[in-house]
């Protein structure tokens, strides 16, 4: 069916079906997605954006499944975007998160969407920021995005979220891993989940010490302990505290401005890269063959190509 007759921005607030279709259009990308996003853009900026990241299995989805009803209880509408790790076999989205959040599924004030990362090399799926913008325009009060913090993605989430929650669990040396991966640097709230496990308190105090040694930060991230399935109150409070802090002066505006700049930069670079790869395809193969034959180093081949396609 042709979409040409559709208004630029359908009734996203009143019609959940229309919203779901609009999200799919945005995910598909291209001109149609951009028309929609241009129309949605001026309605964005109202939603509070919370990002949850952390190692696989730390309890991000479980926390959200408890936090979302809490927010609903406060009268807030909530959009959830879960970015699944792409499967090397199918590239499709894993639906686990969806099922776990089924409790909220019957509620019209909650919208849950799984987005496949589809191998967007080293970064968040390109569509994720756009989907968040669309949900923002649709009037949701709070937007939550869950990503697995294992690679580049954590840096991207900092550009998207007003508040980044890094979720760790006392298992498998999460604390040390997180520090190595640079996760602590982007954390606005540190959430030690699985507080029912014996080592949780130790991990929490280790993290406190890391922050104490880490020098002055304008915002010292609170370390909170949660039990994903039932006790998320401390996380809720920490989110409130960070929101209050962001509300002072023009901190929130400044953070969002920097985030937009970063998004723009990434989109620009990935477009240019796509374009160049397309143009340089044959030459790349030829250079690779020469490298393989032992003629020149990879470095020299890359420099040569870069110079050739510079303009
Ligand atoms: N004991 C205990 N188990 C928990 C707690 N929170 C979550 N879990 C369990 O930990 C496992 C992983 O939880 P998820 O919520 O799927 O973790 P996740 O961080 O979303 O995992 P990925 O999406 O794969 O990165 C599940 O079996 C949960 O039931 C908790 O507070 N205590
Ligand atoms: Mg999950």
pLDDT of 29-80, one tens digit each?
Answer: 889 899 999 999 999 999 999 999 988 888 998 999 999 999 999 999 999 9
Q: Provide the CATH number for the domain formed by 43-248 in this structure.
A: 3.40.50.300
Ligand 1: atom nearest CA of 227 is 31
Residue 138, pLDDT above cutoff 60: yes
Q: What is the CA radius of gyration of the chain?
A: 21
Three-state DSSP class for 143? Answer: strand
Q: For residue range 83-137, what is the model confidence (pLDDT) as tens digits? A: 864 333 232 333 344 444 555 556 778 998 888 766 544 445 678 899 999 999 9
CA of 80 to the centre of ligand 1 (A): 17
Whether the CB of 147 sits within 6 Å of ligand 1: no
Q: Output the average pLDDT for the chain.
A: 84
Ligand 1: atom nearest CA of 195 is 31
Whether the CB of 61 sits within 6 Å of ligand 1: yes
Q: Compute the distance between CA of residue 33 and CA of residue 26 in angstroms, rounded to an integer.
A: 4
- For residue 266, the tally of other CB atoms under 10 A from its CB is 18
CA angle 86, 92, 94 (to 5 degrees): 75
Tokens of 247: 């509300």
Residue from 263, 8, 255, 259 nearest 126 by CA? 263
In the chain, what are the domain boundaries?
Answer: 43-248, 264-308
Mean pLDDT of the region 183-210: 91
Return the higher-pLDDT residue of 216 and 232. 232
Whether the CB of 59 sits within 6 Å of ligand 1: yes
Residue from 60, 112, 114 nearest 92 by CA? 114
- pLDDT bracket for residue 289 (50, 70, 90): very high
Percent of the chain past pLDDT 70, that is, above it, reads 82
Residue among 60, 178, 228, 231 whose CB has most ligand 1 atoms within 8 A, to mutate: 228
Whether the CB of 114 sits within 6 Å of ligand 1: no
- Tell me how far the alpha carbon of residue 209 is from its chain's centroid: 27
Q: Compute the distance between CA of residue 211 and CA of residue 101 in angstroms, rounded to an integer.
A: 33
pTM of the model: 0.86
Where do runs of H (alpha helix) occur along 78-151?
96-100, 127-137
CA of 60 to the centre of ligand 2 (A): 5
CA of 57 to the centre of ligand 2 (A): 7
């Amino acid at each position: 069916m042709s979409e040409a007759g559709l208004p630029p921005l359908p009734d996203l607030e009143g019609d959940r079906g229309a919203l779901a279709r609009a999200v799919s259009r945005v995910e598909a990308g291209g001109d149609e997605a951009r028309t929609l996003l241009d129309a949605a853009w001026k309605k964005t900026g109202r939603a509070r954006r919370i990002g949850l990241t952390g190692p696989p299995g730390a309890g991000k989805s479980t926390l959200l499944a408890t936090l979302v009803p809490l927010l609903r209880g406060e009268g807030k509408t909530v959009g959830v975007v879960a970015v699944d790790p792409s499967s090397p076999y199918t590239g499709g989205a894993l639906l686990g998160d969806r099922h776990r959040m089924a409790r909220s599924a019957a509620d019209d004030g909650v919208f849950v969407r799984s987005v496949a990362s589809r191998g967007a090399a080293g970064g968040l799926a390109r569509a994720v920021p756009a989907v968040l913008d669309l949900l923002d325009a649709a009037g949701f009060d709070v937007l939550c995005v869950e990503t697995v913090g294992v690679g580049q993605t954590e840096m991207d989430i900092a550009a998207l979220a007003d508040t980044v929650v890094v979720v760790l669990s006392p298992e498998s040396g999460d604390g040390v891993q997180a520090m190595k991966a640079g996760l602590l640097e982007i954390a606005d709230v540190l959430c030690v989940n699985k507080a029912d496990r014996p080592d949780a308190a130790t991990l929490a105090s280790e993290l406190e010490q890391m922050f104490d040694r880490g020098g002055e930060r304008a915002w010292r991230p609170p370390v909170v302990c949660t039990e994903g399935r039932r006790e998320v109150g401390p996380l809720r409070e920490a989110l409130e505290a960070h929101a209050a802090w962001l509300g002072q002066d023009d901190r929130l505006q400044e953070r969002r401005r920097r985030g937009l700049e970063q998004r723009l930069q990434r989109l620009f670079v990935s477009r240019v890269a796509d374009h160049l790869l397309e143009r340089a395809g044959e030459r790349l193969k030829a250079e690779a063959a020469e490298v393989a034959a032992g003629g020149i180093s990879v470095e020299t081949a890359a420099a040569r190509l870069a110079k050739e396609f510079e303009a």
